Structure 1
């Protein structure tokens, strides 16, 4: 029923209504002086009627944006009262055009169509009132006066319809702007969500792998400390190195989070040897086969995807298996094929509730590839195929 308006909008509308009342009141009193109301009811009642009509139209003008439906009702009440008393059109009727405009521009669905119906019905009522009303009838409506009536009908319909149509155009523009703003907000939220998922994926890859290495080294050092103190010392050194590297990666990710425009360096194929060293340092037998070798320098996005997929696959092997791990990389002319195999240990990574496998699939999908992870024949196998051709 009531729209939310800003304070200055309410002040402007009410100020316009007050000024309109001060102008329309005296004009309405003068306009009705010669229509017989004074003779029938007296001058005092005529002034009261004039004031009531001016007040109704001024009220409709003042609340036209606050409540278009109430404004339309007030305008109809003023027009009906004006016609029942046989008064001529006057300055106060100008408010009708403003009310029709706001019903189309700001009204609800029902008010919108009520304004359209009011414009059509109002044109017919105005024509009939002017032709057969108690004041303006000159012999009533006849074949001789029919052309004049048609001209009046067209003029009234054009004037009222133009006001409503202007409001409808404004309504369309407002809806288009709201839709554009909503689309921009949705796109901004989608961008933020994608960035959040990317950072979460990178954080998982870095932290999960590093913690898996640290845990494996710590467990090994605990069991080896009693019989081989040197092994414990070596394990502690590996833990320290891995933790420092993880801390540096986390700081890099936090820098990207604070300054999204500076991506910073990302791990590439040259960093795989360090990754393999971490896994071997955790006591895992790792066998790596690269055949054929990369034909030149693969795109950076492909290198990053291969590194992150291998990182997560090796992390799963550290967590769920203690046996040997086989890594096979085959660099074809148009794609790179990757396979990681390790014996199934205490659990199946595919049945876990973590984000590692989801992250690997996302990594592959981001560069147009595919990835499958499954348990088969007592082994857990990760197969990935990532296209090279057409990548930037």
Structure 2
């Protein structure tokens, strides 16, 4: 029944209604003071009552459109019962119909639309028919004025329906605009939530990649250091140094990711193709031999999103080879075509765990490839396990390195 308004809106409506009443009330407008039969002038309190009802309807139009429409109809009925002529404050009905269409419930809006046509008919009948009936001369009959009476009724009805309908239509337009604004706001909120969820998913994937790879390197180095501690102390010391470096690098990455979780705007530097050499060095430091083939060295620099995807997929694929491989050589190949980049990592698998479809590693690599429009394939071929990823290159920035084939 009552809508929620701000204090400023409520005060504005009340003050506006009071000002309208003070300006157009019969108390202040002397032309609306009726002459009594004795010739003296006095205030017609029925007109004052109607003006109070119309002003009240105007003041309540936004707080309660249903109540405002009811009060306006009560005022109109009282005005007709007392046979009062049109009053300036009757224009408040336009504001009530506007608010009915703009802020009312579906039922109230339907009642407002009905009021447009019923009101126009009532106005035409009250004004025209009453004026003609009470204005007939003694020699005239109703048949004498039927034709002009019909014309005046039609014209008055059309004018009234136009004015009332225009007010209602403007209210419908206002409601449509408010609905569009609310839809845009909800869409913005939904986009923000979706972007936040995507950001958190990306960060979670990065966290998995960083932690899984770093822990795999640390575990391999720790096992090697434990076995070599007695016979080869220098090897153990080197392994411990690698552990410390890997742990510090992982800690820095984790801190960066946690910072992004706290502040979504805090974007740090992301890995690129240039960081692959450091990744290879970490894996070699864990005791795994790598054969790397880049064919050819790219003439162009792929987009940052593609570089990040290649780095993270390579990181996870090498982590799988480190954890599930038999310790033999791991073959890594990168093929740069003007239209696509193909990454392949192949190693001899000691167990079938690497192909477990429920593992987060394969899921993360598949998602990484899909995000940049690529394809992902992981399969066993005999005793070997291979990961193949193909990523299309749609945006490139030229660089000056010559095209050569590098084999390490």
TM over 0.5: yes
The alpha-carbon distance between structure 1 residues 281 and 80, as it changes in their structure 2 partners (threshold 3 A), is same
Alpha-carbon distance in structure 2 between the residues aligned to 1:100 and 1:288 = 80
Report the secondary structure of 1:65's partner residue. coil
1:348 is displaced (CA, Å) by 4.2
SS at 2:378 equivalent: strand
Matched, 1:347 2:353: yes
Provide the rounded CA distance (Å) in 2 between the counterparts of 1:35 and 1:235.
114
Query: What is the aligned partner in structure 1 of residue 335 from structure 2?
Result: 330
In 2, Cα distance between equivalents of 1:82 and 1:389: 75
Say if 1:88 and 1:135, in contact at 8 Å, map to a contact too: no
Of the candidates 280, 293, 296, which is equivalent to residue 296 of structure 2?
293
Does the 8 A contact of 1:27 with 1:91 survive in 2?
Answer: no
Aligned-partner SS, 2:389 = strand
State how far apart, in whole Å, the 2-side matches of 1:290 and 1:137 are.
107
Give the direction of change, closer, same or farther, for the CA distance of 1:135–1:226 in structure 2 (3 Å limit): farther
Structure 1 window deviating more from structure 2 (114-123 vs 199-208): it is 199-208
Query: Are 1:115 and 2:118 counterparts?
Result: no
CA contact (8 A) 1:35 1:135 kept: no
Shift of 1:213: 1.1
CA–CA distance in structure 1, aligned partners of residues 164 and 337 of structure 2: 74
What displacement does 1:62 show? 1.2
Match of 2:161 in 1: 157
The aligned counterpart of 1:17 is 17
Mapped to 1, the partners of 2:319 and 2:280 lie a distance apart of 11
Cα separation, 1, equivalents of 2:336 and 2:225: 38
Q: In structure 1, how many angstroms separate the alpha carbons of the residues matched to 2:255 and 2:25?
A: 72
Please, what is the CA RMSD of the aligned residues? Answer: 3.4
Deviation at 1:124, TM superposition (A): 0.7
Matched, 1:57 2:62: no
User: What is the Cα deviation at residue 75 of structure 1?
Assistant: 0.7
Q: Report the Cα offset of residue 344 of structure 1.
A: 4.9
1:1-392 equivalence runs, <5 A: 1-22=1-22, 23-24=24-25, 26=27, 31=32, 33=34, 47=45, 49-133=46-130, 137-139=134-136, 142-225=146-229, 228-251=232-255, 253=257, 265-284=269-288, 286-290=289-293, 292-301=295-304, 302-324=306-328, 325-342=330-347, 343-345=349-351, 347-348=353-354, 350-354=356-360, 356-374=361-379, 377=382, 379-388=384-393, 390-392=395-397
Q: Against the structure 1 CA distance between its residues 303 and 73, is the aligned structure 2 distance closer, same or farther, given a 3 Å change threshold?
A: same
Contact 1:17 1:62 in 2 (8 A): yes
CA shift, 1:112, in A, is 2.3
Deviations 1:69-117 (A, max 9, x none): 1111111111122223322222331211110111122222232232222
Write out per-residue CA displacement over residues 274-296 of structure 1, whole angstroms, 9 at most, x where no aligned residue.
21222232233x33241533242
Q: Give the paired residue count.
A: 383
Task: Tell me how far apart the structure 2 counterparts of residues 221 and 53 of structure 1 sit (CA, whole Å).
Answer: 98
Task: Please report the TM-score for the alignment, with normalisation by the length of structure 1.
Answer: 0.83
**Cα distance in 2, alignment partners of residues 136 and 160 from structure 1:** 26
Contact 2:339 2:393 in 1 (8 A): yes
Sort the Cα spacing of 1:92 and 1:333 in 2 relative to 1 into closer, same or farther, 3 A: closer
Contact 1:28–1:91 (Cα < 8 Å) also in 2: no
236 and 178 in structure 1: CA distance in 2 versus 1, 3 angstrom threshold = same
